Amino acid sequence: MTVDRDQVLRTAAALLTRKATATMDEVARAAGIGRATLHRHFAGREALVRALEELGIRELEAALDAARLDADGAPDALRRLVTEVEPVAGLLAFLVTENQLFETEQMHEGWARIDARVSALFRRGQEQGEFRIDLTPAWLTEALYGLIGSGAWAVQDGRVAAKDFQYMIVELLLGGARRSVEK
Amino acid sequence: MTVDRDQVLRTAAALLTRKATATMDEVARAAGIGRATLHRHFAGREALVRALEELGIRELEAALDAARLDADGAPDALRRLVTEVEPVAGLLAFLVTENQLFETEQMHEGWARIDARVSALFRRGQEQGEFRIDLTPAWLTEALYGLIGSGAWAVQDGRVAAKDFQYMIVELLLGGARRSVEK
DNA sequence: CCCCGATGAGACATTCGTGTCTCATCGGGG
DNA sequence: CCCCGATGAGACACGAATGTCTCATCGGGG
């Protein structure tokens, strides 16, 4: 009888990922509940988006944990990261867009935590001589986000196969487009 | 006396790049004209966005021309492309977001033309043995867009220096993050 | 079996952006 | 110097989405 708040959130995430401008009414219908009930659980669209943000951050941090970023070489850790992040990629893309849309009225601290962990991975790779040092960890982090977003959209629009998601992103990010003799 | 339509468009582009949800009134004020006048030149927000889209496509195609994608090796052509695209990157990022926001009520043919030219560059690189062939031209094109977008946002937010824009994007796209012995 | 809390449907007021219109004003060309 | 077109400011109506509220209904736990 009682609405499953988490289920509603995931449905909303799936919908908003496809259509970022979806109405509260559309979100409610998608979740199979009434608009009034949706409002009882989330006091307005902003609250809903914030809840989604927290969900995204939670899942992303879970993905970071699962990827064991400190283990093995940085390249392998990066592979695991992208693999783990893949299911969250759509939500992530939505949240990033949402954030840069409504000029950050104050960024959630969770993003900073996540940025720090990802940056640390790239920094570790540089220190261990696996990553080049002329590209800053900050840029590599941004680039990773960008590629994940592009990958998510491309998969969603059917321009690339979902099964290639991880491979394409990691291969491009690690090795680049240039054909290398050492490969 | 008469409003400079092109100047209004460029001002609107600059504003909407920073704040994609800016009001018609905000756009008018930013351009230093009245809202009524703005409406006289662009019959509504949609018309304005379409005009911006045409401007973006026009400038992007001009950048493609200036980059002489057919000359030299594909890597060098790609470098030139990113250099030429840099001034349009912000507008480009806005338009991409706008497009994926309001589910394509029909994509402007210009994008297809541009996609074709960029893809062709990557394909040429593959055929001439300069680019690896396990990453499809379609994905490389998407990735380029994603990196340009990320770069534009990162520069706008001051997370990376504007002067590094071209270098960061091209280096990452061509060589990847991995430290290569041949470099 | 009944009751109470949760829900769904819908009415309603409010807010916000849009699009149209009017009118006074400005300014350059004739 | 005057006139006419373009402009700016603002009023106004409209539509869309939001947020609140009421009321009937449903269903599980006591």
| Residue range A28-54: mean pLDDT, rounded | 94
- Nucleotide with C1' nearest the B39 CA: C19
**What angle, rounded to 10 degrees, do the helices at B137-156 and B74-85 form?**
40
What is the CA B112 to C1' D15 distance in angstroms?
34
Say yes or no for a CB contact (<8 Å) between B159 and A176: no
Residue B121 clears pLDDT 90, i.e. is over it:
yes
Indicate the pLDDT class of residue B58, thresholds 50, 70 and 90. Answer: very high
To test the contact with chain A by mutation, choose from B92, B94, B179 the residue with the greatest count of A C-beta atoms within 10 A, namely B179
Window 86-145 of B: residues touching A by CB (8 A cutoff) are 97, 100-103, 122, 125, 129-136, 138-140, 142-143, 145
Please state, in angstroms and rounded to a whole number, the distance separating the CA atoms of residues A174 and A149.
17
Gyration radius of chain A's alpha carbons: 18
Q: pLDDT tens-digit profile of B167-182? A: 999 999 999 888 875 4
> In this structure, are residues B160 and A136 in contact, taking their beta carbons and an 8 Å threshold?
yes
Give the pLDDT band of residue A102 (cuts 50, 70, 90). low
Which of A34-48, A101-115, B67-81 has the least mean pLDDT? A101-115
Residues of chain B contacting A174 with CB distance shorter than 8 Å: 176-178
- Give pLDDT tens digits for B1-51: 677 899 999 999 999 988 989 999 999 999 999 999 999 999 999 999 999
Residue A183, pLDDT score: 42
Residue A26 has pLDDT above 60, yes or no: yes
Question: How far, in Å, CA of B172 to CA of B152, rounded?
Answer: 15
Q: Give backbone dihedrals phi and psi of B22, rounded to 5 degrees, phi first.
A: -55, 140
Domain A52-175: which topology? Tetracycline Repressor; domain 2 (1.10.357)
- Assign A98 a pLDDT band (cuts: 50, 70, 90): confident
**CA separation, residue A116 to residues A23, A124, B26 (Å):** 34, 12, 36
Which has the closest alpha carbon to B152: A160, A149, A120, A174?
A: A149
Inter-chain CB proximity B174 and A178 less than 8 Å: yes
Average pLDDT in chain A: 92
Q: DSSP string covering A17-75, please?
A: HH-TT--HHHHHHHHTS-HHHHHHHSSSHHHHHHHHHHHHHHHHHHHHHHHTTTSS-HH
Please, is A1 exposed, middle or buried when counting C-beta atoms within 10 Å of its C-beta (0-12, 13-18, 19+)? exposed
Residues in a beta bridge with B131: A178
Residue A179 clears pLDDT 90, i.e. is over it: no
The whole-number average pLDDT for the span B122-151 is 95
Q: 20-49 in B: which are within 8 Å (CB) of A?
A: 20-21
Q: Where are the domains of chain A?
A: 1-43, 52-175
Find, among A109, A31, A145, the residue nearest to B160 by Cα.
A145
In A, which residues are within 8 Å of B180 by CB distance? 132, 180, 182
What is the rounded distance in angstroms from the CA atom of residue B97 to the CA atom of residue B120? 24
Burial class (CB in 10 A: 0-12, 13-18, 19+), B110: middle
Give A93→chain B minimum CA distance, Å: 11
B76 has a chain A CB within 8 A of its CB? no
Alpha-carbon span B155 to A140, nearest angstrom:
14
pLDDT tens per residue, range B64-78 = 999 999 999 999 999
Q: How much is the mean pLDDT over chain B?
A: 92
Task: Name which of A17, A99, A159 is nearest B107 in CA terms.
Answer: A159
Q: pLDDT tens digit string along B75-120? A: 999 999 999 999 999 999 999 888 877 665 578 899 999 999 999 9
Give the pLDDT score at A105: 58
Q: Crossing angle, helix A74-85 and helix A45-67, to 10 degrees? A: 140
Residue A176's pLDDT is what?
86
Distance from the A1 Cα atom to the nearest Cα atom in chain B, whole angstroms: 34
Give me A115's structure tokens: 């940025």
- Smallest Cβ–Cβ distance between B176 and the set A153, A154, A176 belongs to A176
Query: How many Cα atoms within 13 Å fall on the side-chain side of residue B116?
Result: 5
Instruction: Give, in order, the Cα–Cα distances in Å from A59 to each of A56, A87, B69.
Output: 5, 9, 42
Q: Is the predicted pLDDT of residue A165 greater than 60, yes or no?
A: yes
Q: Please give the single-letter amino acid code of residue B173.
A: L
Residue B183 has a pLDDT of 42
Q: Please, which positions of strand D sit below 7 A from a protein CB?
A: 5-10, 16-22, 27-28
Q: What pLDDT does residue A40 have? A: 94
B67 touches chain A (CB under 8 A): no
Nearest by CB: B135 against A125, A140, A177: A177
Q: What CATH architecture applies to the domain B1-43? A: Orthogonal Bundle (1.10)
Q: Which two tokens stand for residue A61?
A: 């941090």
Judge residue B109's burial from the number of C-beta atoms within 10 Å of its C-beta, 0-12 exposed, 13-18 middle, 19 or more buried. exposed
- Cβ-defined contact of B125 to A177 (cutoff 8 Å): yes
